[in-house]
Chain A
Amino acid sequence: MLKWQRRIWLHRYIYIMLIPSIAFFIAFSYLPMTGLVLAFKEFTFKGGLYGGEWVGLRYFEKFFSDSQSMVFVKNTLIISSMKLFLALPFPIIFALQMNEIKNTRLRNVFQGIAYLPHFFSWVVVIGMIQRILAPDTGFLNQFIDSLGGDGSRFFMMEKASFYPIMFWSFIWKEIGWNSIIYFAAITGINPALYEAAKMDGAGKLRQIWHITLPGIRPTILILFILSLGSILSAGFDQIYLLKTPGNMELAETLDTYVVRVGMQDSQFGYASAVGMIQGVIGLVLVIAVNQLSRKKFNTSLW
């Protein structure tokens, strides 16, 4: 028996426990990935995923030669960058705040309230936003009206309101959920470090700056690298539901475009090609940033 075989035999029970998760990823990640072949084929109802004629790079040429495509890429990048970079500090700050609440029961209440919106569907959230922001009858417009202002603004239809609505609704919905992992990382920091800092005369802010943040830096980096994979995916359901004729110029992203063009015209091959572009760019980014992070901060996914 070879050395590696012996090692596997020795840890056989652990390997057996691995089997379900390996099977899961094969069934639900790797096998579906073979469907990417559709990006190079003519889809036929009869032939399904693998049966059509090869068309080479036709769909990719179509995508890159279409003037609208770059607009969708730009829109997607702006929205996803806001969610990746601008939104990054919010859950961290929230976790830091939660960490300062010493009463466990009170902290649990706050955390529970903050997690809750994550479990609402975007359909419900956007429905609420539509009601709150509706012209004339919406809560905000009625408030403006009561102060003597113009209570007929159609916020959802204004281009200028799209980014704020998109960004703050995203923060409201996800801040609690995204802070969980940071909070867990904070609780893992050795309390002795804080004791020592206190002895040296460090106040709250200095402790956060010199102990807490460096302590959770690997966590921040890992989560950031992982989220880069979806840089070309701005989140379909939220954007799709927020899209109106007035903000379409900003709100038509690759995700909504894939659904609109792919599904509506049954151009599944073209939709697969666009999806593949999103995935490949995400993969390249993750690899590049992972390398950078390993060199600079000695933290990386692999």
Chain B
Amino acid sequence: MWKKSLAVPLVAALFVTGCSSATSNEENTTATSDKPATWIADRTIKGLIFQDAGDISTYMNPEIAKVLKEKTGITLEIQGVTSEDSTQALAAGLAAGDLPDFIGFYLNNSGRPEMPILLKAAKEGMFADLTSSLKNTSIYSKYFQDGYLPTDAKTNIMFRPDFNGATYLVYTAISRNTGQIGKKYVGGPFVRKDIMDQLGIDPSTINTTEQVYDLAKKMKDGHFKDAHGKDIYPIGPTVWGGKDVNSLFNDLVWTGPTEEKFMKDEAGKIKFESQTDYGLERIAFIQKLLKEKLIHPEFFTMEENRSKEALINHSFGIVAEMHNYIPENNNMTYVPLGPINYVNGPYQMQVDYKSGGGGWSIPATTKNPEDIVKLADFLASREGKLLAQYGIEGRDYTLDAKGNPIAKQEVLDLKASNPAEAAKLGFRGVGNWWGEYLGYTDLDPKGDFGEDAYGDAASADTNKTPNEIIKLWDYDGKLKAAKIVDGLTPLSFIYDFDQGADLRQAIDNYNESLLRAYYSSDMQKARKIMDEAAARLDKYGLKEYVQFLENKESAEKVSIKF
């Protein structure tokens, strides 16, 4: 989840630029002398976003909407479709037809479950070809420059050979500069600082699951209390609710930072986790934690609101996963634990050559799709980002001598005291994402606005806790030693593989089987469950797929990142 926040920003929609020769029913696309240079057309643009409820902002602050209208002529309307699963929402939305002017979706990389649905829709002519429109922009045209897009985005998403020169899917959240880090996220397991102080243990020295186990035992034996005086659970779920996480159990998960459970063994052979013993080792470890009541029984299933409540009450010694910007941890009760080593050695930060995140497409039925592209380009420009990320000058920020925005203290105070009310001001800094779906790309917050994170320049206290955690975790030291990668993830090729769809299902089934095995009554039953899952993977071509990946690497010289 913290990676989602990192990699999948929200993308929103708006307005646009002008001077299109085409006309649609409701607009006058002729730029006149009294219109600003950013004018697109006098029209309404509607976007439909297929993401989780927390990532969709449908509210447009009237004053922000007015400024957008003045600058571009566009009235932007965002709607969201949420479901238990964003892929289901997307599949249902595309099947229903009747799509608005543009759609937005998650697309961390081409291995995401949304990809086959988007590919199918693109190949069936559901989306408009945006090649020429994109080339005529000032920001998005950078996508066509060599080295601007990361490999996966370029060859697997936007400019796929099988699209024959057309562009149907637009990838976003691309950093402007290579290896650039915008907002510094420290994600992974966190631990209660007061408990670590009492136990005299430095959280950064916990680097193995064995040490996690010992620490959990000490927490249990120490009878540490939560805010209500009840005994804590040593290990609790993520701050976003119950799910299977890797970062707390890294040295028992056959995966690297991509978290796809594919990796190379010592001999350099690619393997999936089912072809190793790590799955069973992790099951045995988690069963031991459950049996000894060191891990919350609802670790994999707890609802988000209860998990958040437990965080506020400090009911868990260790929170399996969160990050340094979680507002509920503003008092820094929890600090990072570890990081836990990988199966193949000590933790090393892995930084993508270029970041990437969500995506958008324009249905083939949209009139004048170039207007939407112009709007996306405006929103990706500094002027658009200023409006979408900082709000309105005078109301939300002032400008310093260099022309950079300084967030107003009353806005920062409101954000701290009443985040929901602050979000109604309608820009990214206060948690409204309307500008992200189309315009969150070509990212360089430091270069554009003189600060890495909203509010930094206004007051050192704005991101006090997150910044302290960054220092505590030695983020910059880890970044110096980071491995910069530009490659494709193992699953990004799965739909080029004959049995790809079935194999993908078998992989999902493997992950579900793990959950079942964690809660099975003994290891014999767990082994049976995992053997069935492994047999299913073999039936649907896992071995052939591994061979396929090896060929990609050796024969086609494709860089694969694990």
A-B contact pairs, 19 of them (CB 8 A): A45-B121, A47-B124, A134-B298, A152-B293, A245-B512, A245-B518, A248-B515, A249-B516, A259-B88, A263-B88, A263-B91, A264-B88, A264-B91, A264-B113, A265-B116, A266-B91, A266-B94, A266-B95, A266-B117
Contact A45 B124 (CB under 8 A): yes
Q: How far is the CA of A249 from the CA of B120 in the complex (A)?
A: 32
Whole-angstrom distance from the CB of B562 to the nearest CB of chain A?
Answer: 25
Which residues from chain B sit less than 8 Å from chain A, CB to CB? 85, 87-88, 91-92, 94-95, 97, 113, 116-117, 120-121, 124-126, 293, 297-298, 300-301, 501, 504-505, 512, 515-516, 518-519
In this complex, the interface size class of chain A, counting residues with CB under 8 Å from chain B, is 20 to 34
Contact B298 A135 (CB under 8 A): yes
Given contacts A245-B301, A245-B512, A245-B516, contact A265 B91 (CB under 8 A): yes
From DSSP, what is the main secondary structure of chain A's interface residues?
loop
Decide yes or no whether A7 CB sits under 8 A from chain B.
no
Contact A246 B298 (CB under 8 A): no
Given contacts A135-B298, A154-B298, A248-B512, contact A264 B124 (CB under 8 A): no
Whole-angstrom distance from the CB of B535 to the nearest CB of chain A?
Answer: 9
Residue of B nearest to A244 (CB): B301
Contact B518 A48 (CB under 8 A): no
Whole-angstrom distance from the CB of B510 to the nearest CB of chain A?
Answer: 13
Contact of B519 among A46, A135, A245 (CB under 8 A): A245
Whole-angstrom distance from the CB of B35 to the nearest CB of chain A?
Answer: 37
Whole-angstrom distance from the CB of B462 to the nearest CB of chain A?
Answer: 36
Q: How far is the CA of A221 from the CA of B519 in the complex (A)?
A: 42
Besides the contacts A263-B88, A265-B504, A266-B120, what 14 more A-B pairs have beta carbons closer than 8 Å? A45-B94, A46-B126, A134-B298, A136-B297, A156-B301, A245-B512, A245-B516, A245-B518, A245-B519, A248-B515, A248-B516, A261-B505, A263-B91, A265-B116
Decide yes or no whether A132 CB sits under 8 A from chain B.
no
Contact B505 A45 (CB under 8 A): no
Whole-angstrom distance from the CB of B292 to the nearest CB of chain A?
Answer: 11
Contact with B along A228-255 (1 / 0, CB 8 A): 0000000000000000111011000000
- Chain A residues positioned under 8 Å from B95 (CB to CB): 43, 45, 48, 266, 268
Q: How far is the CA of A219 from the CA of B43 in the complex (A)?
A: 61
Given contacts A48-B97, A266-B117, contact A154 B297 (CB under 8 A): yes
Most buried by A among B120, B297, B504, B515: B297
- Chain B residues positioned under 8 Å from A48 (CB to CB): 95, 97
Whole-angstrom distance from the CB of B173 to the nearest CB of chain A?
Answer: 24
Q: How far is the CA of A245 from the CA of B525 in the complex (A)?
A: 14
- Chain B residues positioned under 8 Å from A245 (CB to CB): 300-301, 512, 515-516, 518-519
- Chain A residues positioned under 8 Å from B92 (CB to CB): 263
Q: How far is the CA of A152 from the CA of B220 in the complex (A)?
A: 15
Q: How far is the CA of A259 from the CA of B88 in the complex (A)?
A: 9
- Chain B residues positioned under 8 Å from A246 (CB to CB): 516, 519
Contact A265 B516 (CB under 8 A): no
Most buried by B among A152, A248, A266: A266
Contact A265 B501 (CB under 8 A): yes
Most buried by B among A45, A136, A248, A259: A45
Contact A157 B120 (CB under 8 A): no
Decide yes or no whether A291 CB sits under 8 A from chain B.
no
Decide yes or no whether A299 CB sits under 8 A from chain B.
no
- Chain B residues positioned under 8 Å from A81 (CB to CB): none
Q: How far is the CA of A45 from the CA of B116 in the complex (A)?
A: 12
Decide yes or no whether A300 CB sits under 8 A from chain B.
no
Residue of A nearest to B504 (CB): A265
Given contacts A245-B516, A245-B519, contact A44 B124 (CB under 8 A): yes
- Can you list the 6 inter-chain pairs with the closest CB atoms, starting with the nearest? A245-B515, A266-B91, A246-B519, A154-B297, A46-B124, A263-B88
- Chain B residues positioned under 8 Å from A156 (CB to CB): 301
Q: How far is the CA of A43 from the CA of B94 in the complex (A)?
A: 12
Whole-angstrom distance from the CB of B122 to the nearest CB of chain A?
Answer: 10
- Chain A residues positioned under 8 Å from B94 (CB to CB): 45, 266
- Chain A residues positioned under 8 Å from B85 (CB to CB): 263-264
Contact B519 A157 (CB under 8 A): yes
Whole-angstrom distance from the CB of B285 to the nearest CB of chain A?
Answer: 16
Given contacts A248-B516, A263-B92, A266-B120, contact A135 B297 (CB under 8 A): yes
- Chain B residues positioned under 8 Å from A267 (CB to CB): 501
Whole-angstrom distance from the CB of B244 to the nearest CB of chain A?
Answer: 9
Whole-angstrom distance from the CB of B533 to the nearest CB of chain A?
Answer: 11
- Chain B residues positioned under 8 Å from A135 (CB to CB): 297-298
Q: How far is the CA of A264 from the CA of B116 in the complex (A)?
A: 11
Whole-angstrom distance from the CB of B19 to the nearest CB of chain A?
Answer: 32
Q: How far is the CA of A118 from the CA of B117 in the complex (A)?
A: 38
Residue of A nearest to B91 (CB): A266
Most buried by A among B88, B117, B501: B88
Whole-angstrom distance from the CB of B125 to the nearest CB of chain A?
Answer: 6
Q: How far is the CA of A44 from the CA of B94 in the complex (A)?
A: 10
Contact B505 A157 (CB under 8 A): no
Q: How far is the CA of A183 from the CA of B184 in the complex (A)?
A: 67
Contact B91 A46 (CB under 8 A): no
Contact of A265 among B297, B298, B505, B515 (CB under 8 A): B505
Most buried by B among A43, A46, A259, A268: A46
Residue of B nearest to A153 (CB): B297
Given contacts A44-B124, A152-B297, A245-B300, contact A264 B519 (CB under 8 A): no
Residue of A nearest to B509 (CB): A68
Residue of A nearest to B92 (CB): A263
Most buried by A among B87, B117, B298: B298
Residue of A nearest to B94 (CB): A45
Q: How far is the CA of A268 from the CA of B120 in the complex (A)?
A: 13
Q: How far is the CA of A234 from the CA of B91 in the complex (A)?
A: 24
Given contacts A246-B519, A263-B88, contact A45 B126 (CB under 8 A): yes
Given contacts A263-B92, A264-B85, A266-B94, contact A45 B120 (CB under 8 A): yes
Q: Which of A1-60 contact B (CB under 8 A)?
A: 43-48
- Chain A residues positioned under 8 Å from B297 (CB to CB): 135-136, 152, 154, 157
Residue of A nearest to B302 (CB): A134
Residue of A nearest to B508 (CB): A264
Whole-angstrom distance from the CB of A197 to the nearest CB of chain B?
Answer: 55
Contact with B along A252-295 (1 / 0, CB 8 A): 00000001010111111000000000000000000000000000
